[in-house]
Structure 1
Amino acid sequence: MEQPLINSLWLLFCSLLVMLQQAGFLCLESGLTRHKNAINVAIKNIADFFLVILVYACFGHAFIYSVQSNGWFGAGELFGLPQFTTLFDSSFFIYQSLFCATAVTLISGAVAERMHFLAYLVLSLIVAIIVYPLYAHWAWNPRGWLAQLGFFDFAGAAVVHALGGSCALAAALVIGPRRGVFDRQQGYRPPSPSNLPLATLGAMFLLIGWIGFNGGSSGTLETVSGQIIINTLLAASIGITTPLLLDLIQRRPCNTLSMINGLIASLASVTACTNLIDANAAVLFALAGVFTMFIIHRLLIQLRIDDPVSAISTHLGGGSAGILMSATTAEVALGSQVIGLLTCLGWSFLSCFSLLSLINRFFPLRVSAEAEHLGLNITEHNAKSDLTLLLTAVHEQSTGDTPLAPLTVAPNSDVGTIAQAYNRLLARLRNEQQALKTQHDKVIEVTRTKDTFLTLLSHQVQAPIHSLARAVDKLIAVTPDDEQYREYQQAKTKLINLSVQLLDAREITNKNFTSNQQLFTCSALMAECSEQFQQRAEAKGLSWYSEIAATAGGYFLGDRGNIMRVLAILLDNAIRHTHTGSIHLLASLSSPENRDHCQLTFYVTDTGCGLPVEHQNAIFDWVYNNSQSTQGGLKMGLFAAKSLVDAAGGQLHFTPNPTIPHDSDDDLSRHDCGCQFHFNYPIKPCSKPRAARPPTPTALSMAHCLVADDMPVNQQLITDLLREHHIRYTVCSNGQQAVELINRHHFDLILMDSQMPVVNGLEAIRTIRCHYSKEQLPIITICSNSNQQQTDEHWLAGSNLILSRPLEGSCFINTIRGILQLT
């Protein structure tokens, strides 16, 4: 029947209003998602709109409103572009196509930020071709079985909103939540919206479109009452003010997202039968929609279902509430509404979920983790904004993919302001790095100067000290029982220890430790400790206890010198801080059955003043050791001891208020304070060496040694030892002379100093090794102060052995005997 022109114009006008909803969804979803995905969301809302219009024109409209329907399916001419003869029929087609487009586009927000663009278009086709037309045929075709049953849906509360929300729920379950939204420790952590003002503008567009939704659903202008428009505006007002009042009552900041979601849910609810209710009922419908939205929103979070724009809770919740509330009117029955709603939810959810799951098995619907991290603007559309370019440049520089460089500044924009701030920060960082590099270069130069000074000082000082020590040994050998000479022996030991400690700062701060492996026994080691420290302890009135566990007997191969250095530090520390009581020294062996992982354990226990609790954690700190020193000079102390033990692979521990580690008459429980240091030092158990025959002049006199050293004191010390054992020798003062003498004479052994003028020991060794192998001409390098780097260099150059001063007479001669394979 031909309709008046005014009715056709009214439908066209309402169609334009409904079309604004498409712009509303675009703004709403783009504003509520992150900036890196906003372009993708906008393109989806445009693409699905025109795709759905095309599909609806070719198939949907003819199927839904087929006059040859059997109640379940349409019949007749269902395919092909429509040909309408009247303006009203054309207007009605346009109006109804927008309903289908709205049902599809609201799904876009629920799957935002993680679904492939093409996969979303496939989902749009599934809803536009299968899901929507079939249910709309059942509900809105007068011959449809739901319409025949009495199901009533005035403007699409079920057909559009509940159906679209149900399809969105199915899609969200198939593709899963966004990464990082649900955290096990911190719970639900949704990203912040990129543009809330844009989202609010989208909500206003939706309200305007809803007036066309409800106003045009009456079909003609004559049947439109002003109450329909009033009910729509009242519902929107309730939807906005209800979340606002709840926030005020609970004294929370007003939540913009809750107000937007309340607006949409209340409008979806009143859409069900706004033509049948008055203003009071419209308020109740709106309240039902808002509270249903809140309930579903909480339920989705509990079930870890991610909905970036709350499309499921607002459209599914609001539309379902409106359909059920329609049964409160006299014209609508509750049974038909329940059946219609369950049919809508069951059909839309099951059809979408099953089809999407099947497709997802063969063609993944979700983007990769990397694409999700970068954003769908770039990965799906290669669309880059100023902010995206800025974030990409900062990310590349922060990960080291590109060098640090100033960013390109976009003038007169927020992004340009951020880029300018970044560039200023980068310039400041470069200036600070340059200043730090300058300071670092100065520190390196000072350290190099200090090392050079200490090396030269040790080379010049140690030689006369060792010569003096050698003279003292000769005096003691003549009159070993003289008390005065024993005092000379103690003074000699202290002097040698002082010369060794001169280099502690360099070795420890640079982590250059010298390791001299040699055979020793714990009994000899403990005797030396007692010789150095017992008299000093007893002079203060302290008792001295020294004990060796049964497992620590026998011979060991290890760094005896460094062990003595650690013990000397610990014993000196114990005696200085103990005024009454006793000093206990104990040695034991751990894991004696495992020869490859044996460790000697030494305990130094005292009854001294102890250490405050607040200082115990810093006891091995270098700064603490110097700050607590009451004597002048650099005090390495416990820091040096721990560094030496750590370098060897051992451990040094501190125990306050200890107990006696062995049975003795002195009981530490009588003292209130005291402390114990114990350390483990790796060693290797060895069998007792075979006793060597006394040196025979006939055996050693066969050897001819070349002594290369530039210091007369060192020459005298070495030649005295060689002369005592009838070893022939020739002396030179630099590496060049040594090479020349080797070319003219035959030598059995070279004793080479590492530091000499003209040509140093390292270069001389390299020259000699060009003509003689290690077997043909052994070389022993003698260093005043060696570190690991220097030791490695001499090994690589061709030294057979590297020795450090001071040289102990018997050990030195035994070393020569071993090198020359003499007995």
Structure 2
Amino acid sequence: MINGADTAFILAAAGLVLLMTPGLALFYAGMVRGKNALGTIMQSLILIALISLEWVYFGYSMSFGPDVGGGLIGDLSWLALQGVGNTPSETYATTIPHNVFMIFQCMFAVITPALIAGAFAERVRFPAFVVFSLLWAVLVYNPVCHWIWGNGGWLAKLGVLDFAGGLVVHATCGAAALASVMVIGPRKGFGQTNFMPHNLPMTMLGTGLLWFGWFGFNGGSALAANEVAATAFVATHLGGMSGMATWTAMEWIKLGKPTTLGAASGAIAGLATITPSAGFVGPNSAIIIGLIAGVVCFLAVNMKSRFKFDDSLDVVGIHGIGGITGTILLGVFASRTVNPNGADGLLAGSGSQLISQLIGVAVVCAYAFVVSWLILKLVNALIGLRITEEAEHQGLDYTEHSETAYN
């Protein structure tokens, strides 16, 4: 039967997750140069329309539809939302209408390719971005989503757990970001020019919106207004705040001064890292995971210069490494005393869950990287990925959208 409280909670959570995409737009736009602010915002904004359409007509059915192919993909029986109405699903979230579950999951599908855009900020043509994002959603996000969250998904059968998107969202976008950096190449002047953020207050506003929306992202993944949602809500905040604390401390030690950008980066790193285990761990474990996130992601971001990778807005180091780290730590800190429907991790006396998590990380990252690489090569061959050198000098706002953020 439909539960009114559960339905209201998930509808509110879906709205919070949607808010994360324009929040991400501000977070990213503040970190680029002023001439690329609107172009960066547009890359996030357009995906609300593009991926929502893809989700309605075949994405949802591919991700959550009845399984075909031995756990590889869902069939198309819910094409254009046929049979997805106001009655509960027989498989997913049986206390809320099926269409509420569908729209909640839609918001995850929207923000994931938007996260990738931070890696190649300031240098990709808008038409190429649109085509890449659509192909990526179909060929990477939908299959991985089915493998882990879909009924009959093969990684789920192996015991791989992902509460709210450590693998499905963060690891996939991190792997795709790495592929994009390698295929597209660095911005002009990388290594010689100081690409200073043009509006850090905008980035801080985006950080706040992301943190706020993350309560719906993780808390809503309980799919009911219950004790698991409360656990995930608490863990989300504790993971984010401890990630911010350790990143700030690391930066203070290294540079002699803490920065607002470092604090924001640490918060997002902690939030991304706690995401896969938010509903499976207690508050003290969440704090430890956040502390680890701040250190690991800080070190990962500071290593990119060694490899000469122009990951413009640190997608690999924060979202990719954060999602991978959190997924592995789930296998260490998870406990059935916190969530009876979860698993016992290494500290609870079971090493099998850690093995499952490592398998999930290896499979998802390898698949997402290879397929993303192929999509990027295809799009580049067909329509070209990069803007011209002159357009890069003028900025995305003018060359791609004929407007400017500032007079």
TM-score by length of 1: 0.45
> What CA distance in whole angstroms lies between the structure 2 residues aligned with 1:250 and 1:66?
49
In the alignment, which residue of structure 1 is the partner of 2:393?
373
> What CA distance in whole angstroms lies between the structure 2 residues aligned with 1:270 and 1:307?
22
Residues 66 and 81 from structure 1, CA distance in 2 versus in 1: closer, same or farther, beyond 3 angstroms?
closer
1:578-597 correspondence to structure 2 within 5 Å: none
1:289 to 290, 293, 296: 293
How many pairs does the alignment contain? 381
Q: Is the CA contact (8 Å cut-off) linking 2:23 and 2:206 kept in structure 1? A: yes
> What CA distance in whole angstroms lies between the structure 1 residues aligned with 2:232 and 2:66?
29
In the alignment, which residue of structure 1 is the partner of 2:146?
137
In the alignment, which residue of structure 2 is the partner of 1:20?
19
1:338-417 correspondence to structure 2 within 5 Å: 338-387=358-407
Aligned-pair CA distance for 1:78:
4.9
Residues 236 and 148 from structure 1, CA distance in 2 versus in 1: closer, same or farther, beyond 3 angstroms?
same
Secondary structure of 1:32's partner?
coil
Instruction: Give unmatched runs, 5+ long, in structure 1.
Output: 184-188, 388-823
**Which structure is richer in relative contact order (CA contacts within 8 A, separation 6 or more)?**
2
2:124 to 115, 122, 128: 115
1:481-630 correspondence to structure 2 within 5 Å: none
Higher-helix-fraction structure:
2
Amino acid at match of 2:377: S
> What CA distance in whole angstroms lies between the structure 2 residues aligned with 1:47 and 1:75?
27
Asked whether 1:241 is paired with 2:240, we answer: no
Q: Is the CA contact (8 Å cut-off) linking 1:21 and 1:210 kept in structure 2? A: yes
Identity %: 32
Q: Is the CA contact (8 Å cut-off) linking 1:288 and 1:322 kept in structure 2? A: no
In the alignment, which residue of structure 2 is the partner of 1:43?
42
> What CA distance in whole angstroms lies between the structure 2 residues aligned with 1:190 and 1:61?
42
Instruction: Give unmatched runs, 5+ long, in structure 2.
Output: 88-95, 336-342, 346-352
Higher-strand-fraction structure:
1
> What CA distance in whole angstroms lies between the structure 1 residues aligned with 2:325 and 2:266?
13
Q: Is the CA contact (8 Å cut-off) linking 1:269 and 1:286 kept in structure 2? A: yes
> What CA distance in whole angstroms lies between the structure 2 residues aligned with 1:226 and 1:78?
32
Aligned-pair CA distance for 1:244:
2.2
Q: Is the CA contact (8 Å cut-off) linking 1:7 and 1:88 kept in structure 2? A: no
Asked whether 1:215 is paired with 2:219, we answer: yes
Deviations 1:468-518 (A, max 9, x none): xxxxxxxxxxxxxxxxxxxxxxxxxxxxxxxxxxxxxxxxxxxxxxxxxxx
Aligned-pair CA distance for 1:266:
0.7
Aligned-pair CA distance for 1:121:
0.5
Asked whether 1:162 is paired with 2:171, we answer: yes
Amino acid at match of 2:40: V
> What CA distance in whole angstroms lies between the structure 2 residues aligned with 1:249 and 1:193?
22
> What CA distance in whole angstroms lies between the structure 2 residues aligned with 1:56 and 1:190?
39
In the alignment, which residue of structure 1 is the partner of 2:64?
65
Aligned-pair CA distance for 1:254:
1.2
Asked whether 1:85 is paired with 2:105, we answer: no
Aligned-pair CA distance for 1:292:
2.2
Aligned-pair CA distance for 1:16:
1.0
Asked whether 1:275 is paired with 2:288, we answer: no
Residues 251 and 117 from structure 1, CA distance in 2 versus in 1: closer, same or farther, beyond 3 angstroms?
closer
Amino acid at match of 1:123: F
Q: Is the CA contact (8 Å cut-off) linking 1:68 and 1:76 kept in structure 2? A: no
> What CA distance in whole angstroms lies between the structure 1 residues aligned with 2:246 and 2:67?
46
> What CA distance in whole angstroms lies between the structure 2 residues aligned with 1:73 and 1:229?
30
Q: Is the CA contact (8 Å cut-off) linking 2:245 and 2:291 kept in structure 1? A: no
> What CA distance in whole angstroms lies between the structure 2 residues aligned with 1:307 and 1:118?
21
RMSD across aligned positions (CA): 1.6
> What CA distance in whole angstroms lies between the structure 2 residues aligned with 1:130 and 1:71?
15
2:258 to 248, 254, 258: 254
TM-score by length of 2: 0.90
> What CA distance in whole angstroms lies between the structure 2 residues aligned with 1:166 and 1:181?
22
> What CA distance in whole angstroms lies between the structure 1 residues aligned with 2:253 and 2:121?
33
Larger radius of gyration: 1
Secondary structure of 2:73's partner?
coil
Residues 225 and 41 from structure 1, CA distance in 2 versus in 1: closer, same or farther, beyond 3 angstroms?
closer
Asked whether 1:203 is paired with 2:207, we answer: yes
In the alignment, which residue of structure 2 is the partner of 1:460?
none
Deviations 1:84-125 (A, max 9, x none): 132621111111001111111101211111000010111110
In the alignment, which residue of structure 2 is the partner of 1:321?
325
In the alignment, which residue of structure 1 is the partner of 2:355?
335
Amino acid at match of 1:341: V
Secondary structure of 1:80's partner?
helix
Q: Is the CA contact (8 Å cut-off) linking 2:37 and 2:405 kept in structure 1? A: no
Deviations 1:660-693 (A, max 9, x none): xxxxxxxxxxxxxxxxxxxxxxxxxxxxxxxxxx
1:149 to 155, 158, 173: 158
Deviations 1:260-288 (A, max 9, x none): 11111111111111112111111111122
In the alignment, which residue of structure 2 is the partner of 1:171?
180
Residues 304 and 251 from structure 1, CA distance in 2 versus in 1: closer, same or farther, beyond 3 angstroms?
closer
Aligned-pair CA distance for 1:225:
4.5
Aligned-pair CA distance for 1:247:
3.7
Residues 255 and 161 from structure 1, CA distance in 2 versus in 1: closer, same or farther, beyond 3 angstroms?
same
> What CA distance in whole angstroms lies between the structure 1 residues aligned with 2:143 and 2:149?
10
> What CA distance in whole angstroms lies between the structure 1 residues aligned with 2:59 and 2:111?
14
Q: Is the CA contact (8 Å cut-off) linking 1:288 and 1:318 kept in structure 2? A: no
Secondary structure of 1:152's partner?
coil
Amino acid at match of 1:324: I
Secondary structure of 2:80's partner?
coil
Residues 28 and 92 from structure 1, CA distance in 2 versus in 1: closer, same or farther, beyond 3 angstroms?
same
Aligned-pair CA distance for 1:243:
2.3
